Amino acid sequence: MRACVLVLLLPFLLAGCETTQETSARLAKQGKHAFKEVGLKVAHASGDVRVLRTAVVHDANGSAVVVTLRNRTARTIVAAPVSIVVKGKAGAAVFRNDAPGLEPALTHVAALGPHARLDWVNDQVTADAPVGVDAVVGAGRGGAAKLPALNVGRPRIEVDPTNGPTAVGTVTDRSKIVQTNLVVFCVARKAGKVVAAGRSLIPRLAPGKPAKYHVFFIGDPRGARLTVAAPPTVLQ
């Protein structure tokens, strides 16, 4: 009797069997539209955020773009997209930050306070010998009337045996809001010209507890004037 039951069940078991390859193919077919990532696209420039100037620096470690922005309004602007097109010697585009899956800090400005100015840095530019960059800022959204207060300490230059000159300092959250994935931008200028730029990521910044940042540069910041900023990522 047991043997008969097994024989009767066998066709149903075989009919319901699916190989790993068949499962993967089925799930991919079902999800290829739902999980498709879309890269950055800015159709129209924002009238609220002005691009004051752009710069690009290059060394043996890679390339970095600096876009100096100013909020022209009396309100906070959040998550404004920044589209960059890096140009080569012939004037052709050699890099765009429109690849799907880039971290938000490489495609957007987290926050700009009323009438605030910011040096936004993308230090993940994969281009050989870039000579210029065009930048367009799209419309962000309105944010809290008052941004969380972050105290970004003055950077000092230390020379790392492996990575070269590094800007080191601390950031303190003076608000009651925990910041996550906080990016510290640092730009070095000589006679008004950008000579180095870089970023540092602080995964979590708790209120009242200073966290150290280490900015590794593209270019050489030694002897230059440093500016540093860390736009808040969590507003409430």
Residue 99: pLDDT above 80? yes
Residue 36: pLDDT above 80? no
DSSP, res 39: -
pLDDT of the residue at 31:
53
The CA distance from 28 to 142, in Å, is 38
Q: Could you read off the pLDDT of 162-186 as tens digits, one per residue?
A: 889 999 999 999 999 999 999 999 9
The residues pairing with 105 across neighbouring beta strands, listed in sequence order, are: none
pLDDT interval class at 42 (50, 70, 90): very high
pTM: 0.83
**49-142 and 150-229 agree in CATH topology:** yes
The CA distance from 88 to 203, in Å, is 34
- Is residue 87 within 8 A of residue 133, CB to CB? The reply is yes
- Chain mean pLDDT for the chain: 87
**In the CATH hierarchy, which fold is given to the domain comprising 150-229?**
Immunoglobulin-like (2.60.40)
pLDDT of the residue at 11:
39
What are the structure tokens assigned to 69, written together? Answer: 């922005």
Q: What CATH code is assigned to 49-142?
A: 2.60.40.3230
Average pLDDT over residues 100-122: 97
Higher pLDDT, 76 or 36: 76
Q: Where are the domains of the chain?
A: 49-142, 150-229
The phi and psi torsions of 150 (rounded to 5 degrees) equal: -115, 130
pLDDT interval class at 38 (50, 70, 90): confident
What are the structure tokens assigned to 85, written together? Answer: 């097109």
pLDDT of the residue at 6:
33
